[in-house]
A and B are shown apart, each in its own frame.
Chain A
Amino acid sequence: EAGVTQFPSHSVIEKGQTVTLRCDPISGHDNLYWYRRVMGKEIKFLLHFVKESKQDESGMPNNRFLAERTGGTYSTLKVQPAELEDSGVYFCASSQSGTVSYEQYFGPGTRLTVT
């Protein structure tokens, strides 16, 4: 069974540009989460999808970030326009539907560098 995959693994862009990150969850997992780790800080929750619906987006930093999950399969996280403080590693995770005790499976992350 394939795990959670993320693309690209690395992205270097200039301030003001747009970047789109993609996450493919494990097949059949209804729950999809985005997290971010800024250098030197802890991993922080961004948002949670249940199928195609946003269950919780309380962690999204501002309106420059837009997450979508069309059709309830893969998800994209767009940053437009990117700022220096957006640099970090963006992780995606997925889990089965049902109780929250189902463990989350994490992808390898996308390292975003904004210069």
Chain B
Amino acid sequence: KQEVTQIPAALSVPEGENLVLNCSFTDSAIYNLQWFRQDPGKGLTSLLLIQSSQREQTSGRLNASLDKSSGRSTLYIAASQPGDSATYLCAVRRRAGGSYIPTFGRGTSLIVHP
């Protein structure tokens, strides 16, 4: 059974810091890994999707890496801003029959204060 752990559970930092959020998973037989952002009362917004054959993906100030063999992914946020405050979720997808079921972590709650 796939288990996804996100560390830390919560993080509070001053604006401008570079951040690393961690995601670990127990079963390396994944199809892809996705990082999401969730704002209070809102749905999930996809940030980055890494296929199992890829090592990293970048979008703006965000960079996500994947080390499938060690069961780890990191989300790097450069020069954090107050607008980055949200909960960040990691989800790994495996194939089960004709479906690709995601397993989510519990998330990292990030607060960036001015």
List residues of A whose CB falls within 8 A of some B CB.
3-4, 41-45, 48, 55-56, 58-59, 91, 93, 100-101, 103-109
Q: Which single residue of chain A is at the shortest CB-CB distance from B106? A: A42
A59 to B105, alpha carbons, bound, how many Å?
16
4 closest cross-chain pairs (CB), A and B? A56-B99, A106-B43, A106-B44, A100-B100
With A and B bound together, what is the CA distance between A109 and B44 in angstroms? 9
16 A/B residue pairs, CB under 8 Å, sorted by A: A3-B43, A41-B106, A42-B4, A42-B104, A44-B104, A56-B99, A58-B96, A58-B101, A91-B43, A93-B44, A100-B31, A101-B32, A103-B49, A105-B46, A106-B36, A108-B41
The B contact surface, by secondary structure, is strand
* Closest partner residue, chain A, to B43 (CB atom): A106
> By the criterion CB–CB under 8 Å, are A109 and B101 in contact?
no
**Number of CB contacts from chain A to chain B under 8 A:** 55
- Known contacts A55-B99, A106-B43; 5 further A-B pairs (Cβ under 8 A): A42-B107, A45-B103, A93-B44, A103-B49, A104-B46
